[in-house]
Structure 1
Amino acid sequence: MKPAPFRYVAASSLAEALVLKARYGEEARFLAGGQSLIPAMNFRLARPAVLIDINGLTELASIDRSMAQAIRLGALTRYCAMEKDAGFLEACPLFADALPHIAHPQIRNRGTIGGNFCHADPASELPAVAVAMQARMCIKSSRGERELAAVDFFVAPLTTALKDEEMLLEIAFPVPRPRSGAAFMEVARRRGDFALAGVAAIVSLDEDDRCSGIRLVFCGVGETPVDASTSVSSLIGQRCTDKAIAGAAADVRRMVAPAGNIHASAEYQRHIAEILTRRAIAMACDRIAHAA
């Protein structure tokens, strides 16, 4: 398969990239890792008239842990760079769990976090991680800059809130609260396949080991990351016993409404969601206990 004809431009600066995007609008796509875009072009599912190569913008390939309240990732940060940064993985433990599930090492050597978010595949792991962590997206155009919550960034399958002239510049992930634990897990047919269902869980406990906050977000069971945090809010103020977690997981099963696919029925996906909820919350709590 070969892509439809297109014009290739290598941007030498962020300003040039934004001017080109403003000029060509929806006809242009940014090329970073290309791990989702190029296959889509080869199958002619995507037909951009212009490819703007931004790989030379090395200032966007950064992991900034200098701020007390947030870790900031440049949109060109590659998965492999995150995997190799022990300080980042310690600060953002959901990534430590989620990154190994993303495709295969060859893909992670080239793929970028910004490209992943802009592709907005509902089965992808990192959008669920971003929504669970309540990340903020820094978006820029030649006319200005704005921020958007991750939950508002993903609007439909393969569709984001980015305007035609905009670029995702940076993502800010809040530093986890004290006495917090996190876990990501998924079920896939084979290692590296898209998840039939996956879940990102963050649990906070008070000094009496009662739940003081919980975030639970799924991938693979909806058209965007599915925030099921309200379905497990019954745990707040309680100790996370097996019985309490099982009750919350049953509420999640009733809440999620997957469409099903050729690999798993909707009922099976609901079953997986319930099981993963129990396991992820229990693991998050166990990690708090072992960190104490």
Structure 2
Amino acid sequence: MAHRSAGRSALARHLAVLDAFDPLHPFLTLTEIASASQLAPSTAHRLVGELTREGLLERQADRSYRLGVRLWEYASRTPGAVGLREIARPWCEAVHRRVRQHTQLGILQGTEALYIERLSMPDAVINATLVGGRIPAHASSAGLVLLAHAGVGAVEAVCRAPMRRYTSETISSPEQLRRVITRVRGDGFVVTNGHIHLEARAIGVPVRGAGGRVIAALTVVVPNDDAPAQPIADLLTAAAAGASRDLVRASGETGEIAPETIGLSKRSVEFIAELEADGASATR
């Protein structure tokens, strides 16, 4: 495999190492990291050593590596996705109790849908999504919902990107994608039959934040059978409306989710700030 170290910044090379890990490959050897990140083995060895020393990677007893706990700390401080997930979770759970199949919350990241929540059942239909996992927007119900309410630039970026065809039903051309998202915009929901796996059907609706802006998609994955989709679409629409109300209440006019709305009271926030200030003073 050709190495792509040349021309990439130091930060880009470090990120390439971290990007080598995904939900299906949580443990990687040094050789596997070098291959996945398209870095020379010597470069990968050096970068992995640096990331391990900083706690961003952790070395296992079998000499493989996994993402470090320090990354989880950083992710937990992200107000956007974490706040959205916390506020929308009760509504996801309400849907999940009714459908008893996969219930998911996704956001648009570039040309992909990134899933920040997923509830499931052991006997649920086959599904490709994982928390923290991504699926190309053209192939996912969440992606299609989000593209239907995104700007022209986001849609065109997906149209320019390769469109992987998972099944014979997957959207595979820019023209088809534009037709589908126009219909989704008019209907208020999407139904995708067999786009990722022929046995699975996905139904999704938008979740809105401050100013009515669509910020996420609430979706379910159910068996691809003859059951009508409209009752589930109605259920999702009601749940999304509830989540949207809670999000607007939490973010107010600023659109930023306040800490107290995701489990921290104002007094707790002030107390934590005092502790941090005292700690900083003690180290001077």
Larger helix proportion, structure 1 or 2? 2
**TM-score between both structures, scaled by the size of structure 2:** 0.32
**TM-score between both structures, scaled by the size of structure 1:** 0.32
- Higher alpha-carbon Rg: 2
